[in-house]
Structures are given as C-alpha cells and as structure tokens.
Structure 1
Amino acid sequence: SGNRGYKSAWIYIPSKIYKSDDFPFQDNEEVIIEIEEGSITISKNDERSRILRNFGIENATLPRLLEIKAKTNRDQPFLYFKDECYSYQDINNNSNKLAHGILELANNLDLKAPKISLLMETCPEFIFTWFGIAKAGCVFIPIDTLLRAKLLEHILKDSDTEVLIIDYKFLRKYLKISKNLPKIKKVLIHNAPDDFNFENYHTNFMSIITSNTQNPKINMHNEDPIEILYSEGVTGKPKGVVFRNVLRAGIALGYELRGIGFDVASKIYCPMSLSSSTAHFFVVLPSIFYDKSLIITEDFNASTFWKEIH
C-alpha cells in the first residue's frame, strides 16, 4: 500500500506461530526483510546478525575463512602446542598440503567427497588434518580416543566411513573390529614406528602430506555437509549429527562468549579433546574468526594445569 513514492506491505503471522517459544523475534524488533524470486526472508538486524551478514554468506565456509585469515593475519600466532608455534599462514599452508594429498588419495580410491574419520590425540596434526579434510571437500568425523572397540565400530559403521586416519597407539583397538568394516578402503597410520610393515591397506599418514601449499580449487557451498559429530553415548550408542554450516555457529557462539572476556582475550587455552563439539564450536572456530591465538595440550592434567596457564 502507499501512494507517496514508497511501497509498504503487511505480513500476517498467525498467532500459533507468533506465540510459539521458537518464534525468534520480539515486539517492535528491527528486522531486515528481503524479497527475492517469490520468497520473503526476514532476518534479525542486531549486532551478531550484522557480523555474520557483513562477513558474507559466500565466505561462510571453513576453507574460505582459513584463506581469508591467512591473508589478513599472516604471521600472527594462531596455535601453540608445547614449544611449537604456528601462525595463521602456517595453519593454512599445512592444511593445504594435506588437502591436496587427500584429494589425490580419494581419486586413486575412486571416492567422491569421502567420509574420513580421525582417531588421533590432540596435537597440531589434528588441526591440520581437520582443516585439510574440509579443504578437500570431504566430510570430517572426529572420534573420541577413549571409546571402546565396540563403540568405535558403531561410529565407523554408522557414519559410512571410507577412510580412517588413526594414531598408531590405537591401531590394535581398530584391528579387533576391522573385519566388520568392509566400507573402509584405506587406513592411514600416524606416528607408526620406523620398522612398521605397511601393506596396501595400511599407509603411512606422512605419505599424504604433499609440498603443495596452494589453496585447493574446490567449489564449496556453505550448506554442504562438512562434519559428523557424535555424542558421548551416555544414554546408549553415540548418535551422529551432520553439520553443514559449522562456521556460522562458531561465529555466533564467539559473539555470545564476549560476556566472559572472549572479546578482550588474546590467547584461548583449550585442555579438552579436539574431538569434542565443545572444542569445535566454543573454542577453535570462534578463535579463528575473532583473530585469537589458541593453546592446546595433549590432555587435561590437574598437576600441570596452572603451569601451562602461566
């Protein structure tokens, strides 16, 4: 309606929807309404929403975020582990080296965007592998190292894992169940001893680390599946949740964490396992987006906790 050079429209929202606890808007809240190709999109216009909107939906993938931050932050430290330190550029380069190796492996195995499970202790290679899998356009499945063999088998079956990357110290656990997992085409072993006898089915993890530090040219959409995260299985077998837009969730949670000092912190200490969803959404992803440095440790140890903090 309107006859003074502008057009306005009333949008009727049934009370059943408006009164629902899931309805995201408040009375008199400022919103943005977009009409495109016959559909109407109503979105919030608060600060958090503006942060997400300004970043750009086309950039809202983990690979794209890594590439943007590698350019803007370059030599700024991102990851600390023991006496090691990796800059934002280092993280992107190491992830790219793995991504190209994963792409080559998938091609050799005739797999398209395979599901890749990771059973590895907390270390920089965990981060590189996670990001490398994402940059290769594959689906990442982190697995809790404390799981018993039967629950490990359940996750590998339920997720349709096709490639497994595993620390050597957990290999015996996997071998107990390997005959029940015919879908797994390749097992990459991390930290294998020098005298380990690799065969065709088992390959050295180091073999997929290439020298190519260029960003892979993979056409990814922000709604493509990127991770499957499993519950701890407290009330039954672990249940998997497919995540697509993990980045937007991490950005939003980082914004909410400002109240406890996230906005002024320069270093974030993470003593928890990197296989947990808490580490992903509350620590790693927000740290990247908000330009923080991340400190990781092999595991939580009460006797060394404060020493590591200092």
Structure 2
Amino acid sequence: MNLRDPQMTIARMVEQVVARYGRKKCLTYDQTTYTYRVVNQKMNQVAHGLRKLGIAHGSRVGLLLSNCPEYIFTYFGVLKLGAINVPINTFLSSEEVQFILNDCEIATLITETALHETLKAVLPNLPHLKHVIVVDGEIPGTLPFQTFAKESIENPVVPDPPTNRDIAVIHYTSGTTGKPKGAMLSHKNLLAAIDANTDVIKISHRDKIIVFLPLFHVFTFVVCILATFSHGTRIVLLNSVKPFKRVLKALFRYRINILVGVPPIFNALANVDVPWFFRFINPIRVCISGGAPLTAEVLRNFQHKFQIPLLEGYGLSETSGGVCVNPLDGVQKPLSIGLPIKGVRVKVIDEDDLELGPNEVGELLIKSDSVMEGYYHQPEETAAVLRDGWLHTGDMAKIDSDGYIYIVDRKKDMLIVRGMNVYPREVEEVLSSHPKVAECAVIGVPDKQRGEVPKAIITLKENVTATEKEFRRFCHEKIAMYKNPKYFEFRDQLPKTPTGKVMKKVLKQEEFEKLQARMEGETVSHESAP
C-alpha cells in the first residue's frame, strides 16, 4: 500500500487494510473485541447515519468525546463521506467549546452524557448546531448513537468522494491572542504522517498497542490509531489512564509491545515496584514519549529499569503530530528531540531569515507533506507561519553537527502543563476581565507532577481586596482546569520597562532564585541531619 500515492485517501486506506486484515482482531475496549471487518461495518453505519442528517462533502462534525470505540467509528465514518472531523478537547470550559463550535459552524456534534453538561450551558449560543448525538444514553433533545448508527453496513456510495487534498480534520490549538486556531489537516497530510511514523516505530500486523491518551490529541490519534490501523495492528483502548493499575494489568493481559505515553506516565513506571523477573517476560519492544519534554533523569531511570528503548519526539498540531524523534535503531542523545523523520526537512534561521550553522540558536522551521494546509478562516495567521513552504514553529532550537535537534526555548511564550499547551496571554485576558484586577502577568513555574504550571501575579485596583479563593473560582468558570493558575501572588506593582511593558524575565528570574534558595535549604538540612 502506497500511502504517498496522490490518489490515496484515508477512506481508500481503510478499504485496503480491511481487505487484507478483515478477520484479524482490530480493537479491544472494555472486554469487547472487534475485528477489522466489524470495525469497518461500524464506520459505514455511522457514515450512512450522518448522511441521513445532511452531512456531506466538506461538512464539519464535532467530536466532544472521551476515549471510546464510537470515537473511532465516527472519525473514520466522517472521512468516508468527505466530511471533516473537529476533535474538541474534553477539558475545555463551556465558553471555549462554544467558540470552536461557532467558529467551525458545526451542525452535528457527537458527545456523551458526562460532557453534555458542558454543552448544555451554552446551547442557546450555538445557532448552527442542529443535531447532538449521545453515545451512552438518552437525553431529551438529543439522538441516541445506537438509534442513529443502525443503517447499512456496506461502504457508502457518495456522489462527491474525498480527494487527497481535501481537509480531513481541523485540530484547534491555542492562539497567542487567546483565540484558538483551527489547523486544517488534509488526507495527504495525515497519510504522510502515517507513513513516516510507521517507519519510525517499525509497526506491523504482529504488534499490539495500548491507547489511554486522549484521542482528541493529534499525537494520539495519528500515532496510536491511524498509523497502527494502517498496518493491521491490534489496538487496546482504555477510556483513561486512571486507575493506573488497570493500565499495568492490560499491559500483561494483552501482551502489549508498543507503549505510547507522556513523561508523567514513564516517571510513574520508573518508580513503580515490579518483580525482578519482569525484564525477562516483558513483551514491550518500544516506548514513545510525546506531549512535553522528557527529563534526562526520567529517561535514565526508565531505561535502566526496563532495558527497552524510550523514544522522545517533537511535533505540533500544525505538522499532523510528530516530525522529529530519537531513532529506534541508532544513537539516542539525552535532551535532544532527535532527528527529522521520513519526508521531513528542518532548518534553523536567525532574525533575518538566514540559515544558521551547527549549534547556533534560532527559530526552528519545518517542511513536510504532513504540514497543515493552513488555519481555518485565518488567512493572516496562516501567512505569518507558512512561508515558501516552510512552517515557522516559533520554537527556538539548535541542530548539532550530527543533525540532532535541541529545543532551547519557546518563542511563543507557551507553557506545557501535563502535555497540554497553555498560553499565558490567554489566562491573562481572563484575569484582566475580573472587575478587581488592575493588571496581571502569568508565568510558568516548575512543578514535580505537571512539569510546569501557571502562576499569576496580580495587582488590584485601588481600595479593593480579594482572595486567592475568589480568583480560583473565577478562573474555574472561565477556562479549562489545566489552564488555571496553581499559584497566585498579589503585588502593589509589576516590574516594567520604560515603555510600560511588564518585564516577565524579571518575574521568571525571581521565581528561579526562590527555587534555588529552596533547593539550597534542602541540601543544608540533609547535610546537617544525623
């Protein structure tokens, strides 16, 4: 199967995979296992049901769902019609969900009972939404998934089938202005990403992968679902990483040999007690970490304990997931995001757009067939990051003499909290809307569990008082929990430049000095202990 064929689409890929692996086990979820043939039939039922609701070529379908088989059935069913998936982060607030649904003018949304409350609060503000389909129950005014997806199991015949260049999915990523941007990924983009990632991990029909990361994340769906599906791999799906004991149990029960996670998962595994004989019966052949930087300590501890490769990669929503990774067969360099994967070109440039040499720090640029077509309805934002075929990532990096890439800083001022992108300006805009706030600044501070968390430094208006609890409640109502500041500090004034711009470097330096002082204090106490 040639995934780079200009005539290839995700729908055609599915047909070829099912023709080859139809009787093979494809998906296991909560004690139920589906073969590739049955999964394809479920996809077709969804496609027929959506078509009866008016979904056609170019229509946008929202997915506000936790991990479940219906997520996968719907995703592929949408693509068979030439329609477009819009995955929505299940951790978002009602207002954030409202923005995405309205921005994409979504008429049909697939969701679940637990998340319907998030939706119900903003239903009057969703003029385009006509159909809400619930996968796990019956709610007045909605359509049960089982009733909706009971049509023909045959492949749908569509008058306007999808092409290689049609948009397949729109992944919303936080914007530096506070408004999310929809990265449009075509069938061609996804197929290029599938081809490259299967090459990196050496995926085959003999493999078994466990999936517990959220399916709404581009990294999860491309690597764990699309790439593995394309090669007849067995997928074991969990609705959550918690309880973690269930993950460990599934690893043994299903003889999982590919494990994809985020740094906290591998940190937990590095510290969990396992029998001494585990390394001799452990079937896992490769682990992949994404979503956030992996510390050298976690990498070292994990590999020492399990004696299996742990590959760290780098990717963006705009690149259809991973574009760089430390090689499975080759040198793995600590703190590096590795080498460009198949079909990916990278370079580092200075402020004058001149390419820099080895170990010189500049902005990282990426060129690949997996790079997005642009941002939905945002031509100016698209033009700012896509120039001459190169994606300007906004990340500061360096490339060593062997071609290994190192991320030095995030030009976009972005934080990564539990693998989720958080932009300080977005949080600042929310805090600034509070009637008691004169001005504020949000910075990232280190956190053992989450890697990095937001801290808000606030100056209040004259003659008013406020409490930390008050601001926690306010943020909880306005933005997703992972974006909420963990720490609040009240000051009379913020450090500023002569032109009035808040000096975040000063605030960050102060936090660094506080951390250093705490570490020195802990060292002294340990040394003085009997």
User: What is the TM-score normalised by the length of structure 1?
Assistant: 0.74
1:257 aligns with 2:201: yes
CA distance in 1, matches of 2:182, 2:17: 30
Which deviations, in whole Å up to 9, do the C-alpha atoms of 1:140-162 show, x marking residues without a partner?
A: 11112111111111211222212
CA distance in 2, matches of 1:92, 1:213: 8
Which deviations, in whole Å up to 9, do the C-alpha atoms of 1:169-196 show, x marking residues without a partner?
A: 1112111111111011221222224xx4
1:93 aligns with 2:41: yes
Match of 1:239 among 178, 181, 185: 181
Q: Contact conserved, 2:110 with 2:132, CA < 8 A, in 1?
A: yes
SS at match of 1:287: helix
Match of 2:73 among 128, 132, 155: 128
Amino acid at match of 2:75: W
Which deviations, in whole Å up to 9, do the C-alpha atoms of 1:221-262 show, x marking residues without a partner?
A: 11111111122679834321111122232122221223xxx4
CA distance in 2, matches of 1:191, 1:184: 20
The aligned counterpart of 1:309 is: 251
Q: Contact conserved, 1:106 with 1:113, CA < 8 A, in 2?
A: no
- Following TM superposition, the consecutive aligned residue runs of length 4 or more in structure 1 with deviations greater than 4 angstroms are 232-235
CA RMSD of aligned residues (A): 2.2
Q: Counterparts in 2 of 1:1-310, with a 5 A limit?
A: 51-53=2-4, 56-58=5-7, 60-106=8-54, 113-193=58-138, 196=139, 198-199=140-141, 202-218=142-158, 219-231=161-173, 236-245=178-187, 246-258=190-202, 262-263=203-204, 266-301=207-242, 302-310=244-252
CA distance in 1, matches of 2:45, 2:3: 29
| Rg (Cα) greater in structure | 2
What are structure 1's unaligned runs of at least 5 residues?
1-49
Which deviations, in whole Å up to 9, do the C-alpha atoms of 1:183-230 show, x marking residues without a partner?
A: 11221222224xx4x34xx32222321331111123221111111112
Amino acid at match of 1:270: V
Question: How much does 1:271 deviate?
Answer: 1.2
Question: How much does 1:112 deviate?
Answer: 5.7
CA distance in 2, matches of 1:61, 1:283: 18
SS at match of 1:303: helix
SS at match of 2:128: coil
Q: Residues 174 and 266 (structure 1 numbering): CA distance in 2 closer, same or farther, change over 3 Å? A: same
Amino acid at match of 2:201: L
Q: Contact conserved, 1:98 with 1:129, CA < 8 A, in 2?
A: yes
CA distance in 2, matches of 1:234, 1:86: 42
Q: Residues 131 and 119 (structure 1 numbering): CA distance in 2 closer, same or farther, change over 3 Å? A: same
Which deviations, in whole Å up to 9, do the C-alpha atoms of 1:104-140 show, x marking residues without a partner?
A: 1116xxx664211011111111111111111122111
SS at match of 2:63: strand
CA distance in 2, matches of 1:234, 1:124: 34
SS at match of 1:78: strand
Q: Residues 308 and 234 (structure 1 numbering): CA distance in 2 closer, same or farther, change over 3 Å? A: farther
The aligned counterpart of 1:11 is: none
Question: How much does 1:299 deviate?
Answer: 0.4
Q: Residues 235 and 277 (structure 1 numbering): CA distance in 2 closer, same or farther, change over 3 Å? A: farther
What are structure 2's unaligned runs of at least 5 residues?
253-530
CA distance in 1, matches of 2:205, 2:60: 37
CA distance in 2, matches of 1:169, 1:283: 24
Q: Contact conserved, 2:57 with 2:82, CA < 8 A, in 1?
A: no
Q: Which structure is higher in strand share? A: 2
Q: Contact conserved, 1:153 with 1:177, CA < 8 A, in 2?
A: yes
Q: Residues 232 and 280 (structure 1 numbering): CA distance in 2 closer, same or farther, change over 3 Å? A: farther
Q: Residues 267 and 232 (structure 1 numbering): CA distance in 2 closer, same or farther, change over 3 Å? A: farther
Amino acid at match of 1:92: N
CA distance in 2, matches of 1:66, 1:235: 38
Question: How much does 1:263 deviate?
Answer: 4.9
Identify which range, 154-163 or 271-280, moves more after superposition. Answer: 154-163
Q: Contact conserved, 2:17 with 2:231, CA < 8 A, in 1?
A: no
User: What is the TM-score normalised by the length of structure 2?
Assistant: 0.44
Amino acid at match of 1:225: I
CA distance in 2, matches of 1:253, 1:153: 33
CA distance in 1, matches of 2:42, 2:87: 19
State the identity as a percent. Answer: 25
SS at match of 2:224: helix
SS at match of 1:226: strand
**Which of 1 and 2 has higher RCO (CA within 8 Å, sep 6+)?**
1
Q: Contact conserved, 2:81 with 2:162, CA < 8 A, in 1?
A: no
Q: Contact conserved, 2:26 with 2:234, CA < 8 A, in 1?
A: yes
Amino acid at match of 2:153: T
Which deviations, in whole Å up to 9, do the C-alpha atoms of 1:17-73 show, x marking residues without a partner?
A: xxxxxxxxxxxxxxxxxxxxxxxxxxxxxxxxx9545xx332x21111111111111
Q: Residues 235 and 304 (structure 1 numbering): CA distance in 2 closer, same or farther, change over 3 Å? A: farther
Q: Contact conserved, 2:62 with 2:87, CA < 8 A, in 1?
A: yes
Q: Contact conserved, 1:251 with 1:285, CA < 8 A, in 2?
A: no
Q: Contact conserved, 2:79 with 2:162, CA < 8 A, in 1?
A: no
SS at match of 1:57: coil
Amino acid at match of 1:255: D
